[in-house]
Structure 1
Amino acid sequence: MIAVVRAEDFYTPPPELPADIWADVPVAERVWRWVEYRLQRRLTPPEGFLIGEEAWAAINHNRWVADCTCGSAQVVSPADQRMACTECGRGWVLLVFPADVAAVEAALVDDEPHLRNWVNPEAPAPAPPPPPPPPKGRPIPGGTP
């Protein structure tokens, strides 16, 4: 059986480093080490939580993920239920996982891993996309302004 992927399984050190070198790094902060290594630039995780803000965990193609308000996303874990965005720098927010993570994962076990998807039915509906910008250029004669 292939388990649903969590942050602690996804954000691992590169092969040339000892496998346990990030063992003392909290699970939610390993994404910062992972991105630092791959982008070859120093990143500093934010301090403190954004009070009253949360993100909803979902399973997407067999990975626990959560979306940032900027449109980015990252693999997350029920073992450390927080996230901070490495793209926009949004601070730490609490993650909302289902009450019974194991039951959700078990319900998907018969599906092929790439077909394993789940969204919390209690999660708010996504915001509609913004309207398209007005066309650029000169007005067309006889057209509306």
Structure 2
Amino acid sequence: MPIAVVRAEAYYLPPPPPRGDPHAWDGMPAAERVFHWIEYRLSRRTVIPTSVIPDVPPVYARINQNRWLGDCVCGAACIVSPTDPRYGCTECGYGWVELVFPEDVATVEAEMLLTPQPHLRNWWHPLDPANPYTPQPEPQPEPEPEGGTL
């Protein structure tokens, strides 16, 4: 059975017993899990954003080595989930911004499973300005000068 593409709710988990309840985060939105995980796992206090930053471009989700990632303007990244399309940064404190996933997440994840090695599973949103694989338009042939050639 192939390894599924990793989402935030499968990666950012609460502390194991006896320190914690394994179901303590079951009702927590996926985008907020990273903040709690950073706090307990790295012992670093983080502040969960309380509002959406207006008039900023969205963050485009991508798959990098079999993980859904969101990249911050500061250069940090975290694992994200299509179940909660928000992105906030634990490094610089960048508040909630829209997180854009493909229209058909299941199809993209199914395509990733066709590559047997999880570390080779990579995908970029076609509208992401950071996408290094943006298709280039085919060059148009130059029109012939009027009157023929000399």
TM-score by length of 1: 0.82
**Unmatched runs of 5 consecutive residues or more in structure 1:** 127-145
Among 49, 61, 72, the alignment partner of 1:68 is 72
Residue 21 of structure 1: CA displacement? 0.8
Which residue does the alignment assign to 2:60? 56
Deviation at 1:7, TM superposition (A): 0.3
Alignment of 1:91-110 (within 5 A): 91-110=95-114
- Match in the other structure for 2:120: 115
Q: Which has the higher strand share?
A: 1
Task: Name the CA shift for 1:26/1:125 in 2 (closer, same or farther; >3 Å).
Answer: closer
The percentage of counterpart residues that share the same residue type is 54
Partners of 2:36 and 2:60 lie apart in 1 by: 23
CA RMSD of aligned residues (A): 1.2
Q: Who is 2:136 aligned against? A: none
TM-score of the pair, normalised by structure 2: 0.80
- Aligned equivalents of 1:85 and 1:125: distance in 2? 18
Is 1:4 the counterpart of 2:5? The answer is: yes
How many aligned positions are there? Answer: 126
Distance 1:18 1:90 in 2: 29
**Structure with larger Rg:** 2
What is residue 19 of structure 1 aligned with on the other side? Answer: 22
